[in-house]
Structure 1
């Protein structure tokens, strides 16, 4: 399983900020943690539910509850979201990976609702086509 710390470190690495551990301040890690929770909460609100449990404080060692197939997409989208916060310009590869990851998460989690006939309508019930016209 993937820990929250590895997701954050890899997202900082995608922004070329995580080469050394001392480059990232605790405030920046807290901001990234909040961005991660907010992003996955927004995804869940629109139907892309990865079963994410928000973090409790500064515990980055806890395991993520998201499926492992979604890690790359979450990392790329988190890095893309953090780029503006830290004054970085995302590359085209990061943008493509973020879109691909979000599309994968959407395809695997969204369910198309099926329309069902109301129980009060009989089979073949409704207005006949020829009755619509008046002569």
Structure 2
């Protein structure tokens, strides 16, 4: 089970701030969680619903909550989250990280496409010769 804490720690790593080198305060992690909640709400609004375990209000969750997104989107979300997090810390992302953002977003989009529910009736998709029957 991947937690929100693991994603946030990876976001800090992508920003160039490693937890074992720098003392990341709990308040900083909580602010990063708020940014993560806002980012995931924005992505859902763009049609990229990933199954994120969203709290009732932005920033209202816990760091140890389950993330809820597919593992294939983990690194992409870490890079995207780091892009949003780094200006607040006075950091700039490396050229390699910015280039990785394009590939990371492709992974996030493909993970969102996998989660689109299939419209099926029985074993055959609607529109494939299968008709909706009402009555009987």
Scaled to the shorter chain, the TM-score interval is 0.7 to 0.9
Q: Report the counterpart of residue 78 of structure 2 in structure 1.
A: 75
Contact between 2:76 and 2:101, CA under 8 Å: does it hold in 1? yes
Once residues 84 and 75 of structure 1 are traced to their aligned partners in structure 2, the CA distance between those partners, rounded to angstroms, is 15
- Using the size of structure 2 for normalisation, the TM-score is 0.72
* 1:77 Cα deviation after fit: 0.6
Q: Secondary structure at the match of 1:40?
A: helix
Q: CA RMSD in A?
A: 2.0
Residue deviations 1:71-92 (CA, integer Å, cap 9, x gap): 0000111111101010001011
Q: Report the counterpart of residue 13 of structure 2 in structure 1.
A: 13
Structure with the greater alpha carbon radius of gyration: 1
Q: Report the counterpart of residue 48 of structure 2 in structure 1.
A: 48
Which stretches in structure 1 are left out of the alignment for 5+ residues?
Answer: 112-135
Contact between 2:72 and 2:111, CA under 8 Å: does it hold in 1? no
Once residues 12 and 109 of structure 1 are traced to their aligned partners in structure 2, the CA distance between those partners, rounded to angstroms, is 24
- Using the size of structure 1 for normalisation, the TM-score is 0.73
Q: Report the counterpart of residue 3 of structure 1 in structure 2.
A: 3
* 1:93 Cα deviation after fit: 1.5
Q: Secondary structure at the match of 1:102?
A: helix
* 1:108 Cα deviation after fit: 4.1
Contact between 1:70 and 1:105, CA under 8 Å: does it hold in 2? yes
Q: Report the counterpart of residue 120 of structure 2 in structure 1.
A: none
Alignment of 1:1-135 (within 5 A): 1-20=1-20, 23-55=23-55, 57=60, 59-110=62-113
Q: How many residues end up aligned between the 2 structures?
A: 111
Contact between 1:30 and 1:58, CA under 8 Å: does it hold in 2? no
Contact between 2:53 and 2:66, CA under 8 Å: does it hold in 1? no
Deviates most, 98-107 or 76-85: 98-107
* 1:31 Cα deviation after fit: 1.0
Which stretches in structure 2 are left out of the alignment for 5+ residues?
Answer: 117-136
